[in-house]
Structure 1
Amino acid sequence: MTASDRLLSLIENTPEIDLLLRSSFGFDIWRKHYGDGLRLASGARMEPIAGESAGGAYFLCTERDGRRPVVFASSEGQGGLIADDLADALEIIIGLEWHDCLGFSGGGDVEVMQVSARHLERSRDKYNPEIFKEAAQVAAALSLRALPRPELVIRLHGAASRTEPDYLVATDDGHVYDPLFGEYSEPRHGGWR
């Protein structure tokens, strides 16, 4: 059993952690079917492990250097590498509004991502005042590190920057997904509030 398998089994067998990951962090191990019809453009294998409510899917890739990288594919046609293994991915997922951080990255600028992450953290805390407590609970239950936001942003940026060529997501008919980095540095209507 790999480290990723152990983590997934622990999530599946710990209902309160499964519920928190699903409801507060958008990582639902019961939505594996969301990844149907997707593969890596390189032809390497991807295993669907979770979905999120907007229709996106998380995948484990073929092992490299003892680790199984994690790829995300959105329902809007963006995809790419988010972490070098499942533990790293879960630390990012519970520690950041990672998808929007990439979306508001100014085309992949890590400094823009840091600013976006700071604004997104304020917003996340405002809409769910328990989010930091929930993240700590998930981290403790899964033996994950609670890393500072700036470090998580650097790790996420580094992973997403390594998407090409090995982790490009494609459909079965060969359409290649767009990168996860968005071109905007803040929301277009009203900016960061």
Structure 2
Amino acid sequence: MSVMSENEALLRRIESDETLADLLVWPGDFDIGRREPVEDVFLASGMSLTPVAGDDAGGTYFLCGGADGPVLYGDSEGNGALMAADLTQAVTLIAALPYWRDLGHGWSIEEGEESLGEDHPELPEYRAELLVLLAGLGIVPPSNERLVERFRTAARRTVPDFQLQCRHDDAHGVYVSTYDPLFKDFAALGSR
């Protein structure tokens, strides 16, 4: 009898709880119904990739190296970054700071809150409901500052072992392209 990992248990819970799954889609843009990546990607290190969710812009969230591995996000534009040490940390980051990608491009938490709040005044209500559901699963986010620190730590580990690659076959033959780091300046991740 195999024991289910925490990541597997959380993923099964999201799959079986429509309210939780819907709240992760919005405001988090983490949709378990969109698991197919736009390209057939792999890691340069040879570590396994398991798609677990996608976003509405064609990006994909992957578990790396098995069920207990870190979570990698690859966008549809050929960029990728490790975002969390495991699925629990990824879902926590997405739930608490749904604009996490903007933090990687130098935004502050305040700027993220203001931008999302202007377009979606209902955000606090949705986020509160999502956080209550997660708390019922024993997932309580640390401070926003700690979430950003975890995110920055994960993103800095992207290169080289967690860089996505894609095999292409065209009239000139077969070649491999490497995704660019989603966040070019790892030192500046979330620093403002």
TM-score band, normalised by the shorter chain? 0.7 to 0.9
Amino acid at match of 2:36: H
Note if 1:41 corresponds to 2:44.
yes
TM-score (norm 1): 0.81
Extract unaligned runs of 5+ from structure 1: 106-112, 186-193
Alignment of 1:10-49 (within 5 A): 10-34=13-37, 36-49=39-52
Cα shift at 1:148: 1.6
Mapped to 1, the partners of 2:150 and 2:24 lie a distance apart of 20
In the other structure, the counterpart of 2:151 is 156
In the other structure, the counterpart of 1:118 is 110
Q: Select 1:52's aligned residue among 51, 55, 62.
A: 55
Higher fraction of helix:
1
Alignment of 1:166-181 (within 5 A): 166-173=161-168, 174-181=176-183
Extract unaligned runs of 5+ from structure 2: 169-175
Amino acid at match of 1:101: L
Amino acid at match of 1:100: D
Mapped to 1, the partners of 2:164 and 2:65 lie a distance apart of 14
CA offsets 1:139-189 (integer angstroms, 9 cap, x no match): 224321222211111111110001112101111232111112156x8xxxx
Mapped to 1, the partners of 2:127 and 2:165 lie a distance apart of 35
Q: Select 2:131's aligned residue among 136, 142, 163.
A: 136
The verdict on how the C-alpha distance between 1:26 and 1:58 changes in structure 2, with shifts beyond 3 A counting, is same
CA contact (8 A) 1:77 1:178 kept: yes
Cα shift at 1:129: 3.8
Q: Secondary structure at the match of 1:76?
A: coil
Mapped to 2, the partners of 1:158 and 1:90 lie a distance apart of 16
Bigger radius of gyration: 2
Cα shift at 1:123: 2.1
Higher fraction of strand:
2
Amino acid at match of 2:164: V
CA offsets 1:59-102 (integer angstroms, 9 cap, x no match): 00114xx9311100001111021111100111111111111111
Mapped to 1, the partners of 2:32 and 2:135 lie a distance apart of 19
Q: Secondary structure at the match of 2:23?
A: helix
CA contact (8 A) 2:134 2:140 kept: yes
In the other structure, the counterpart of 2:5 is 2
RMSD: 1.9
Mapped to 1, the partners of 2:38 and 2:133 lie a distance apart of 24
Equivalent pairs counted in the alignment come to 172
Q: Secondary structure at the match of 1:125?
A: helix
TM-score (norm 2): 0.82
Q: Secondary structure at the match of 1:172?
A: strand
Stretch deviating more after TM superposition (173-182 or 18-27): 173-182
- Give 4+ residue runs of structure 1 displaced > 6 Å after superposition: none
